[in-house]
Chains A and B, each alone.
Chain A
Amino acid sequence: MYELLLSGIGNILQMKYLLPLAIGTLVGVVGGAMPGITNTMTVIMVLPFTFGLEPLQGLSVMIGVYVGGESGGLITSCLLGIPGKPSSVATMFDGFPMSQKGEPGRALWLGIWASFFGGLIGGVFLIGTTGPLASLALEFGPWEYFSLFVFALSMVAGLTGASITAGLLSGAIGLVITVLGNDPIFGAPRLTLGIAWLEGGIPFLPVLIGVFAFAQIMSDVEKLGGGRSDATRGFVAPRLLVSHLKVIWEILSRPFLLLWSSIVGLFIGVLPAIGGSAANVMAYDQAKKFSRHPERFGTGTPEGIIAAEASNNANIGGSLVTIMAFGIPGDAVTAVMLGALTIHGIQPGPLFISQEKTLAYGIFAAYLVAHLLMLVILFIGVRWFLRVVLVPKSILFPVILVLCVVGAYALNNTIANVYVLLLCGVLGYAMVKGGLPLAPLILGVILGDQIEINLVRSIMTDSNPWLFLTRPISGGLLAASVASMAFAFWQHRRAQKKSALAGGAADF
């Protein structure tokens, strides 16, 4: 394993991979620093650029964006009090007060170094567990795959959004999208609604791009009221000089905090479709609970920054494990990566690490090297990145939408994908307005065909439906699905009680 990893690092350090990785990291940092531009949006923007690249080059760009984005978000969180993205919200709770107390450099670099160490811990987990988990998944038959995908979907539906029913309905809508077009087993046409281009089914990348890009852009557009309204006008970059050794020691002298926050991030990352924002807030909350001085949280304590930032970078490692071992995206960014891989004819899943060793270890290496590049890029350009928040949204949004069009069109050079993009954009925005979460929809679209294929295969192999329950792994996974739903139900019930006490109500 170590030989393969070293060879992967050697591979990535070649200019043809290092340059895309560095560009991706830079774009990720810049995108992450821009309030309102999430990692998903940034990775969607770079997606079309990867079509013409080799698979490892394209994935290097995306991993760079992912790692850079998680770290870039802390810049504006710490220095301006504006989270660059949802997974930097908790960083702001202590980062900004620390900056206001006259220590902006300390706040910023505590976050950056914590991201680095959290990312490395995530890397150890990623490299150490992907192979064994993939070997376990190799034992799976169609019953187990079906149950695994159902488990993933039920978990996401239960854990995202304010209502379990809304989450499940969103996942079901995702599954409905996959039944339009030919059936995946025999190719028989079904539910094409008389539209010729629906016969081939709906590719999931235009759906993903449309749903996420439009939902986010339109949510921002509806807040625009004409004229620039940024809080950064007249902004003067602060002095960011700091003793790095001192900052590193501040982090490493709290090993339990660093490790536990990273484990929280990894755990959240492994859960399908739940991203860094949950990790960031949950790790912050855990750090506060374990702290001897919880009253200091929110006033500029280093523990708050370390916990929040270590967790969201470790979260990347967890997300990559799920996609590489099982072929299930850990979040929206890895869902786009999955799309990029399938464009190159590579199917992530249990066989990926054994059949695509160079690529798999290249991904591990890119992940590790991206963290070093992130440090270098932030060291050189952190003051400059603060300026990017001044770019008006009226310039940014048209450019992003053009890149979305290119991404959807270039998938297989057909304008039909662009129409799908618009339709799914309308659907995504309507779902946001209707209170339906987007993550289950996307997972439903990604897993829909696989759920159907494995269901039909299992029934064709043996028509006894009890096998789904009596085969140990399959039964265990279905039991876990029920348990996750029960947990979500309990959690929502508790929220409802709290809300009722506060004078409102939550629905199920």
Chain B
Amino acid sequence: MKLSRVGWAGLAALAASLVLFALTLGLKPNPLVPIGPGFYPRVVLGLSAVLAAALIAFDLYSIKQPGEGAKPNHALVLLVFVVFGIYISLMPGLGFRISTFFFVAALQSLLEPPKGVKGWVIVLATALITTLATHVLFERYLSVLLPRGRWTDF
């Protein structure tokens, strides 16, 4: 018996539910009402734990079908998440405009490495246009203030 991806998802959900359920036991009841702030979370987390356990059990006893088609490029997915994570981590320091310019250029280069000068011009032009267009449109016309950089004041 071996867990498939569904089973692993169930296992992660079960672990998270049990940890959070344990945390709800520390919540103090409210003397003014019959049920306190921990009542509903316990119901929900208990339910999710039971469902997660059931999912694992069904997965263990189901017949696994072999995966089909091309192998997914998980390394690229991970890199996109990392680039996005760096982007939003640097945004409060660099500000929306600078971080967005670098993010758009970096992600484009990652998804489709530019070839030759023309490729780089397209990458940089897209990054610049995206940054300027979002800034002008949102700040000037839609009154949405985008983050200023703590380090750059820009």
Instruction: Tell whether, in the assembled complex, residue A186 and residue B77 are in contact, meaning their CB atoms are under 8 Å apart.
Output: no
Cα distance A48–B113 when bound, in Å? 30
Residue of chain A at shortest CB distance from B9: A434
Set A191, A393, A435, A448: member contacting B6, Cβ < 8 A: A435
Instruction: Tell whether, in the assembled complex, residue B138 and residue A394 are in contact, meaning their CB atoms are under 8 Å apart.
Output: no
CB of B143 within 8 A of chain A?
Answer: yes
* Interface residue ranges of A412-447 to B (CB < 8 Å): 413, 415, 418-419, 421-422, 425-426, 429-431, 433-436
> CB-defined interface of B26-68 with A at 8 Å, one 1/0 digit per residue?
0100100111111111001101100110110011001101000
Cα distance A225–B74 when bound, in Å? 11
CB of B20 within 8 A of chain A?
Answer: yes
Residues of B within 8 A of A136 (CB): none
Least Cβ distance of B82 to chain A in Å?
11
**Given A415-B147, A435-B5, CB of A49 within 8 Å of CB of B13:** no
CB of A463 within 8 A of chain B?
Answer: yes
Residues of A within 8 A of B142 (CB): 48-49, 51-53
Set A222, A394, A405: member contacting B73, Cβ < 8 A: A222
Least Cβ distance of B31 to chain A in Å?
11
CB of B136 within 8 A of chain A?
Answer: no
Instruction: Tell whether, in the assembled complex, residue B41 and residue A190 are in contact, meaning their CB atoms are under 8 Å apart.
Output: yes
Instruction: Tell whether, in the assembled complex, residue A413 and residue B145 are in contact, meaning their CB atoms are under 8 Å apart.
Output: yes
Instruction: Tell whether, in the assembled complex, residue B38 and residue A394 are in contact, meaning their CB atoms are under 8 Å apart.
Output: no
Selecting from A95-103, A171-179, A246-254, the interface stretch reads: A171-179
Instruction: Tell whether, in the assembled complex, residue A504 and residue B37 are in contact, meaning their CB atoms are under 8 Å apart.
Output: no
Set A168, A225, A410, A426: member contacting B51, Cβ < 8 A: A168
Selecting from A119-127, A454-462, A483-491, the interface stretch reads: A454-462
Instruction: Tell whether, in the assembled complex, residue A175 and residue B48 are in contact, meaning their CB atoms are under 8 Å apart.
Output: yes
Residues of A within 8 A of B4 (CB): 435
CB of A341 within 8 A of chain B?
Answer: no
Least Cβ distance of B47 to chain A in Å?
5
Most chain B CB neighbours (cut-off 10 Å) among A166, A410, A419: A166
CB of B153 within 8 A of chain A?
Answer: no
Residues of B within 8 A of A401 (CB): 84, 103, 107
CB of A10 within 8 A of chain B?
Answer: no
Residues of B within 8 A of A179 (CB): 20, 40-41, 44-45
> CB-defined interface of B61-88 with A at 8 Å, one 1/0 digit per residue?
0110100001011101100110011011
CB of B120 within 8 A of chain A?
Answer: no
Residue of chain B at shortest CB distance from A169: B51
> Chain A binding site: helix, strand, loop or mixed by DSSP?
helix
**Given A173-B48, A190-B37, CB of A221 within 8 Å of CB of B111:** yes
Cα distance A221–B20 when bound, in Å? 33
Cα distance A405–B85 when bound, in Å? 11
Cα distance A223–B84 when bound, in Å? 19
Instruction: Tell whether, in the assembled complex, residue B33 and residue A163 are in contact, meaning their CB atoms are under 8 Å apart.
Output: no
> CB-defined interface of A196-219 with B at 8 Å, one 1/0 digit per residue?
000000000000000000000110
Set B10, B81, B122, B147: member contacting A409, Cβ < 8 A: B147
Residues of B within 8 A of A260 (CB): none
Instruction: Tell whether, in the assembled complex, residue B92 and residue A415 are in contact, meaning their CB atoms are under 8 Å apart.
Output: yes
Instruction: Tell whether, in the assembled complex, residue B33 and residue A460 are in contact, meaning their CB atoms are under 8 Å apart.
Output: yes
CB of B141 within 8 A of chain A?
Answer: yes
Least Cβ distance of A243 to chain B in Å?
41
Residues of B within 8 A of A297 (CB): none
**Given A221-B76, A222-B76, CB of A507 within 8 Å of CB of B48:** no
Residue of chain B at shortest CB distance from A448: B44
How many residues of B are in contact with the other chain, CB < 8 A?
Answer: 73
**Given A169-B52, A224-B111, A402-B100, CB of A436 within 8 Å of CB of B63:** no
Cα distance A124–B9 when bound, in Å? 43
How many residues of A are in contact with the other chain, CB < 8 A?
Answer: 73
CB of A345 within 8 A of chain B?
Answer: no
Instruction: Tell whether, in the assembled complex, residue B138 and residue A406 are in contact, meaning their CB atoms are under 8 Å apart.
Output: yes
> CB-defined interface of B119-150 with A at 8 Å, one 1/0 digit per residue?
00010001100100010011001111111000
Residues of B within 8 A of A377 (CB): none
Least Cβ distance of A209 to chain B in Å?
13
> CB-defined interface of B81-104 with A at 8 Å, one 1/0 digit per residue?
100110110011000000010011
Cα distance A456–B33 when bound, in Å? 9
Least Cβ distance of A48 to chain B in Å?
7
Residue of chain A at shortest CB distance from B137: A49
CB of A505 within 8 A of chain B?
Answer: yes
Residues of B within 8 A of A185 (CB): 33, 37
Residues of A within 8 A of B48 (CB): 169, 172-173, 175-176
Instruction: Tell whether, in the assembled complex, residue A410 and residue B58 are in contact, meaning their CB atoms are under 8 Å apart.
Output: no
Instruction: Tell whether, in the assembled complex, residue B80 and residue A218 are in contact, meaning their CB atoms are under 8 Å apart.
Output: yes
> CB-defined interface of B7-18 with A at 8 Å, one 1/0 digit per residue?
011101100110
Question: Could you pull out 22 A-B pairs where Cβ atoms are within 8 angstroms?
Answer: A52-B143, A53-B142, A165-B55, A175-B44, A176-B48, A190-B24, A221-B111, A222-B72, A223-B72, A224-B73, A224-B76, A394-B107, A397-B111, A406-B146, A409-B147, A418-B88, A421-B88, A422-B88, A433-B9, A456-B33, A456-B35, A456-B40
Given known contacts A172-B48, A455-B40, A505-B63, what 17 new A-B pairs fall within 8 Å (CB)?
Answer: A52-B138, A169-B51, A175-B47, A176-B44, A186-B37, A188-B30, A218-B80, A221-B76, A222-B76, A223-B72, A394-B111, A395-B108, A399-B130, A409-B146, A410-B144, A418-B88, A433-B9
Shortest 10 CB-CB contacts between residues of A and residues of B: A434-B9, A52-B142, A394-B112, A172-B48, A394-B111, A222-B72, A183-B37, A507-B62, A179-B41, A505-B63
- The interface of chain A, by Cβ under 8 A from chain B, is 48-49, 51-53, 163, 165-166, 168-169, 172-173, 175-176, 179, 183, 185-186, 188, 190-191, 193, 217-218, 221-228, 392-395, 397-399, 401-403, 405-406, 409-410, 413, 415, 418-419, 421-422, 425-426, 429-431, 433-436, 448, 452, 455-456, 459-460, 463, 504-508
